[in-house]
Amino acid sequence: MPRPTATLAIAAVTVVVSLAISFLRLEDWASIFAGFIPARASGTLDIYDALPVWITPLSATLVHGGLLHLGFNTLMLVYAGSQTEKAVGAGGIVVLYLVGAFAAAGAQWVAGPLEQVRMIGASGAISALMGAYSLLYGRNSRARAIGPIPATAVHVIWLAAAWTGINLLVGLLSRGAGMPIAAAAHIGGFIAGLALARPLLMMRWRGA
């Protein structure tokens, strides 16, 4: 099997940039300059000298809230990404990661278009890799058709429902603890991964 070159490249860039920001103690500045803020996308908040809002879904993936945040995201990125890259190839991983980042930001905006909370971290984009990994490698033998809905579609629906439920619960608990996570972003990224997994797999192996 080919080595997961795209996954390792994404992980390396993320770690280097995030560590540099952390060691220079620029996390707060970077979260404003490069983080995704829904209110900016809605046009109700203007931040002088920040990156253009359209690129912040990507730049936000390079900013983390400490070493623990970075370490956990890197672990999930390397594991899910390397396995998924074996199936969809390097190009597929890049597409999943980029689309996942924007889908995560879009879902976070839909959940609170006027929110001024800064969204940082790569977990939304990584959720797309998790969605693709779950669909490509998960066992769907237990899924059964429900009326006109085929078993494969039921499997996708159950995966999306389970991920959504888990993240909504974690989001509520984290908000109660005063450290809210971007639950909507995780859900948006995961659904994007579910949607792209099979098309990318077919494109990669078409004619093989």
Q: Give how many domains the chain has, as a whole number.
A: 1
Contact status, residue 184 vs residue 164, Cβ threshold 8 Å: no
Domain enclosing residue 191, as ranges = 5-205
Q: Could you tell me the two tokens for 53? A: 């809002």
CB 195: neighbour CB atoms within 10 A? 18
Q: Would you state the pLDDT for residue 177?
A: 44
Q: Would you state the pLDDT for residue 52?
A: 95
From the list 91, 67, 69, 93, the residue with the least C-alpha distance to 80 is 93
CA distances to 15, 66, 118, 127, 182 from 121, rounded to whole Å, are: 11, 10, 10, 11, 9
Q: Would you state the pLDDT for residue 160?
A: 63
Those residues of the chain that have pLDDT short of 50 are: 174, 177-178
Q: Taking the model in full, what pTM does it have?
A: 0.86
Angle, helix 67-111 to helix 123-137, in steps of 10 degrees: 90
Mapped onto helix, strand or coil, the DSSP state of residue 185 is helix
Q: What is the CA radius of gyration of the chain?
A: 17
Q: Would you state the pLDDT for residue 184?
A: 87
Q: Would you state the pLDDT for residue 135?
A: 86
Q: Domain with 28 in it: what CATH number?
A: 1.20.1540.10
CA distances to 63, 67, 165 from 149, rounded to whole Å, are: 41, 44, 21
134-170 confidence digits (pLDDT tens): 888 876 556 565 656 655 655 556 566 665 666 556 5
146 forms beta bridges with 149
